[in-house]
Amino acid sequence: MASSTVALRAGSLASFQVVERSASQTGRSAPCCSRALALKSSASSFAAPASFGVAASKRNGVMMMAAAAAEAPKPRKGAKGEIDESLLTPRFYTTDFDEMEQLFNKEINPNLNDEEFVSLLQEFAADYNQTHFVRSSEFKAAADKLEGPTRKIFVEFLERSCTAEFSGFLLYKELGRRLKKTNPVIAEIFTLMSRDEARHAGFLNKALSDFNLALDLGFLTKTRKYTFFKPKFIFYATYLSEKIGYWRYITIYRHLKENPDKQLYPIFKKFENWCQDENRHGDFFSALLKSTPQFLNDWKAKLWSRFFCLSVYVTMYLNDTQRTGFYESIGLNTRDFDMHVIIETNRTTARIFPAVLDVENPKFQQGLDRLCILNEKLLSIKRSGGNQFVQNVKLIPVIAGFASELLGLFLMRPVEAGSTDMGSSFEPSLTY
Ligand SMILES: [Fe+2]
Ligand SMILES: [Fe+2]
């Protein structure tokens, strides 16, 4: 377990995975130009992989692709081909692409608002950040000054952030490819979003080279497990992931602008424009949700909305409180930072989700803090080693306590929210 890593984008739903399969199990074949994925000398030259192999067969209603790799792949020389996996590590996702095609078929779905998607496409095609991700000699010089634990924590931050960005790239790239015939406009938006995520991941991977490291992303594509989410869960999870990513980037950017002495590494200077990419991605998912009102307008949608909010917020809070050293190194108080991000993300999310959590109630943070304590206990039992049976017995009450705290947070009185046609004056309100 990566006990001191930091994910920039926290919406990885780590604790609440649905189904997991390795790339070879799903048969997701390797991109043919996997080496090109690992690292390029500049963000603009970051190469996207070719489409995944699609020798497909249908099993249990889920598209399964035939396995392609005959021999075990190896990471390229000098690059890291694995990341420290834990329940809280950013994941790679796959979905039911057949259902996605049905959702975005204009003959089947009358709710698709062509005009809105065409204008979103124009936004993405404008490519505002085409020349933004350019490095300077400042990067390497700043990295060389980082030593000891701070250096280690920065590397972990870069690795996890790179994995999270790359996860977005993989999913969007495949959706762009699969929806091309059914809905070319939506497909093109996905492809352009994968361009953005490739740039982000490439920029982070290039930053790792300042620390004499690199992730072999092509290798990870082939070997890492993929978490399966049905389309509606992809929408909830990805919307939240993009919006929480936006709030994290912009909060760090604004903080460091006010406290330039804490600017330990210049990647944060890039966050202002970078976060606008994430904001646009989130707005696109908001439009997708509006075009699928069945995912927003009933009691199940309300429960799922709260569930995904909870999973994303808890994942981020647990991740970050295990890595306070990183936030402290740039002058932030981890808990304050996280609560600010959670509250802002929740307010944004309330504009589209039918229900959100009452995160501004002090009891919510108190519950999060109790989860942190239980998580610490859980980790220390696991780290203690020794007899497996004894360890499991010790874990039972801790896991039960964890589950009960989670349930308590989930069952807190929710905030009734969301509307597909609300005005800008919308304010969510508590339900009774
Ligand atoms: Fe991104
Ligand atoms: Fe994004």
Q: How far is the CA of 71 from the centre of ligand 2 (A)?
A: 33
The rounded Å distance from CA 76 to ligand 2 centre is 27
Which residues keep their CB under 5 angstroms from ion ligand 2? 168, 242, 278, 281
Q: Is residue 266 part of a domain?
A: yes
Chain segment 120-169, per-residue pLDDT in tens:
999 999 999 999 999 999 999 999 999 999 999 999 999 999 999 999 99
Residue 344: CB partners within 8 Å, gap ≥ 6?
A: 247, 251
Which ligand gives the minimal distance to the CA of 274?
1
Q: Examine the pLDDT at 17 and tell me if it is beyond 50.
A: no
How many angstroms does the Cα of residue 127 sit away from the middle of ligand 2?
14
Say how many domains are in the chain.
1
Ligand in nearest proximity to the CA of 162:
1
Copy the structure tokens of residue 414: 């929710």
Question: What mean pLDDT is predicted for residues 349-359?
Answer: 97
Please report which ligand is nearest the Cα atom of 133.
1
How would residue 30 be classed by pLDDT, with cut points 50, 70 and 90? very low
CA 194 / ligand 2 centre spacing (Å): 8
Q: Which ligand is nearest to the CA of 241?
A: 2
Is residue 39 pLDDT above 60, yes or no?
no
Question: For residue 172, which ligand has an atom nearest its CA?
Answer: 2
From the CA of 201, the nearest ligand is 1
Of the two residues 64 and 399, the one the predictor is more confident about is 399
Least confident of 88-97, 112-121, 271-280, 357-366: 88-97
- What pLDDT, on the 0 to 100 scale, is given for residue 223? 86
**Which residues 6+ apart lie within 8 Å of 14 measured at CB?**
86, 87, 88, 89, 90, 91, 315, 319
Least-confidence region, from 160-174, 267-281, 358-372, 415-429: 415-429
More confident residue, 335 or 422: 335
Point out the ligand nearest to the CA of residue 165.
1
What pLDDT score was predicted for residue 174?
Answer: 97
**Lowest mean pLDDT across 63-67, 90-94, 345-349:** 63-67
Burial 403-420 (b: 16+ CB within 10 A, else e): eebbeebbebebbebbee
The DSSP bridge pattern shows strands 92-94 and 225-228 to be: parallel
Note whether residue 351 is domain-resident: no
- Looking at the domain assignment, is residue 39 inside a domain? no
Q: Which two tokens stand for residue 257?
A: 């602008």
More confident residue, 8 or 337: 337
Please check the confidence at residue 270 and state whether its pLDDT lies above 60. Answer: yes
83-101 burial, b if ≥16 CB within 10 A, otherwise e?
A: beeebbbbbbbbbbbebbb
With beta carbons less than 8 A apart as the criterion, state whether 89 and 20 touch: no
Contact between 249 and 271 under an 8 Å Cβ cutoff? The reply is yes
Work out the end-to-end distance of the chain between its first and last CA atoms, rounded to an integer number of angstroms: 41
- Burial environment of residue 380 by CB neighbours within 10 A (0 to 12, 13 to 18, 19 or more): exposed
Distance CA 423, CA 428 (A): 12
Residue 106 Cα, ligand 2 centroid: separation in angstroms? 25
Quick one: what percent of the chain has pLDDT higher than 90? 71
**CA–CA distance, 429 with 360 (Å, rounded to integer):** 12
Q: Is residue 176 part of a domain?
A: yes
Rounded distance from Cα 193 to ligand 2 centre (Å): 7
Give yes or no for residue 349 having a pLDDT over 90. yes
Per the structure block, which two tokens stand in for 144?
């060389």
Q: How far is the CA of 116 from the centre of ligand 1 (A)?
A: 22
- What average pLDDT score do residues 227-237 get? 95
Q: Is residue 290 part of a domain?
A: yes
205 C-alpha to ligand 2 centroid (Å)? 16
Residues 61 and 67 sit within 8 Å (Cβ to Cβ): no
DSSP for 322-353, please give it: TTHHHHHHTT--HHHHHHHHHHHHHHHHTTTS
Describe the strand order of the beta sheet including 429-430 as a list of residue ranges: 355-356, 415-416, 429-430
Q: State the distance from the centre of ligand 2 to the C-alpha of 44, rounded, in angstroms.
A: 17
CA atoms of 88 and 240, how far apart (whole Å): 16
Q: How far is the CA of 198 from the centre of ligand 1 (A)?
A: 8
Reply yes or no on whether the pLDDT at 220 is more than 90.
Answer: no
Nearby residues of 25 by Cβ (< 8 Å), 6 or more positions away: 67, 225
Ligand nearest to the CA of 242: 2
Residue 65 has pLDDT above 60, yes or no: no
Q: Which of 22-26, 91-95, 131-135, 413-417 has the highest mean pLDDT?
A: 131-135
Q: 305 alpha carbon to ligand 1 midpoint, in Å?
A: 22
Q: Across residues 12-24, what is the average pLDDT?
A: 37
The percentage of the chain sitting over the pLDDT mark of 70, rounded to a whole number, equals 77
Q: Read off the pLDDT band of 116 (50, 70, 90).
A: very high
**What is the spatial distance between Cα 355 and Cα 353, in angstroms, rounded to a whole number?**
5
pLDDT-wise least confident of 207-211, 283-287, 341-345, 414-418: 414-418
**Residue 277 C-alpha to ligand 1 middle, in angstroms?**
7
Residue 48 has pLDDT above 60, yes or no: no
Ligand nearest to the CA of 278: 2
Query: 418 versus 284: which is more confidently predicted?
Result: 284
User: Angle between the 334-349 and 362-384 helix axes, to the nearest 10 degrees?
Assistant: 120
Average model confidence (pLDDT) across the chain: 82
Looking at residue 387, its pLDDT comes to 87
Burial of 41 (0-12, 13-18, 19+ CB in 10 A): exposed
pLDDT in tens, 284-299: 999 999 999 999 999 9
Rounded to 5°, the CA angle 389-395-399 comes to 145
User: Would you say 96 and 61 are in contact if contact means Cβ atoms under 8 Å apart?
Assistant: yes
Q: Which ligand is nearest to the CA of 161?
A: 1
Calculate ∠ Cα 195-199-203, nearest 5°. Answer: 170
Q: How many whole angstroms from 412 Cα to the centroid of ligand 1?
A: 32
**Boundaries of domain holding 278:** 92-295
Residue 415 φ then ψ, to 5°: -100, 115
The CA 245 to ligand 1 mean position distance, Å, reads 8
pLDDT classification of 224: cutoffs 50, 70, 90: confident
Is 50 exceeded by the pLDDT of residue 112? yes
